[in-house]
Amino acid sequence: MKSHSGSHADLKTPARPIGLPVRAVFLVGFMGAGKTTVGKALSHHLGWPFEDLDDRLQNREGRTVEQIFRESGEAAFRRAETLALRELLDELGATPRIVALGGGAFVQPENTELLQRADVTSVFLDGPVEELFRRCHQQQVERPLRGSLEQFQQLYQMRRPHYLTARLRVDTASKDVEAVADELRRTLALAQEDSGVGHEI
């Protein structure tokens, strides 16, 4: 992400009635979208706790994401991911929080159903696939499903329709982390003002 002016966010039709308290903001999107870094920056802006679901999953399993994929396979990873998500949602209380989901979590029907029932706000951090691929390489983080650019693009195209079901969409193209976090903060504030009730979307 680079600095960029004239940012824009798509405020989609709410999936639930306006005027209900925010329980949590869940950041979704593909590898390299900046869910964790934007989540931490947004946490700083709003003063809400931040959590990466992968961190919770790794603590529960006592293994890294890469180890789970390598030793147990993707199906086992997805089961553990859903259990971690259930646990997190059960813990939601009066204090809103920001959560970053792994790239494949929002694609799993069981997970999206859990999020819908929990009545939380989902935000799709979008970006050009070539830029996402470049960010992944720059981060030098092992990602089990990254593969080649062609494989990366195919997986992105398969997952993107699921991401587009999120309640909000923010375009991250050519923007730095702070610009995206500030744009999202302003979008959330605008939705709160439209509802006429503080801390609501």
Say if 200 falls within a structural domain: no
Report the number of distinct structural domains present in the chain: 1
Alpha-carbon distance of 38 to 179, in angstroms, equals 9
- Specify the pLDDT at position 16: 37
Say if 4 falls within a structural domain: no
- pLDDT tens digits for 131-170? 888 877 766 555 554 567 788 889 999 999 999 999 999 9
Least Cα distance to 162 among 66, 13, 31, 29 occurs for 29
Give how far Cα 79 sits from Cα of 92, 108, 118, 127, Å: 21, 10, 19, 28
More confident site: 82 or 11 = 82
Say if 95 falls within a structural domain: yes
Q: How far is CA 196 from the centre of its chain?
A: 26
Alpha-carbon distance of 56 to 186, in angstroms, equals 28
Task: Print the domain residue range for 173.
Answer: 9-194
Alpha-carbon distance of 95 to 79, in angstroms, equals 27
- Specify the pLDDT at position 101: 96
Alpha-carbon distance of 73 to 68, in angstroms, equals 6
**Residue 55, token pair as written in the block:** 């961190």
Say if 67 falls within a structural domain: yes
Say if 2 falls within a structural domain: no
Give how far Cα 139 sits from Cα of 20, 40, 46, 73, 135, Å: 38, 17, 26, 24, 6
- Specify the pLDDT at position 3: 37
Task: With cut-offs at 50, 70 and 90, classify the pLDDT of residue 21.
Answer: low
This model's pTM is above 0.85: no
- Specify the pLDDT at position 115: 95
Say if 65 falls within a structural domain: yes
In angstroms, what is the C-alpha Rg of the chain?
16
- Specify the pLDDT at position 134: 86
> 110: domain CATH number?
3.40.50.300
Say if 89 falls within a structural domain: yes
Say if 1 falls within a structural domain: no
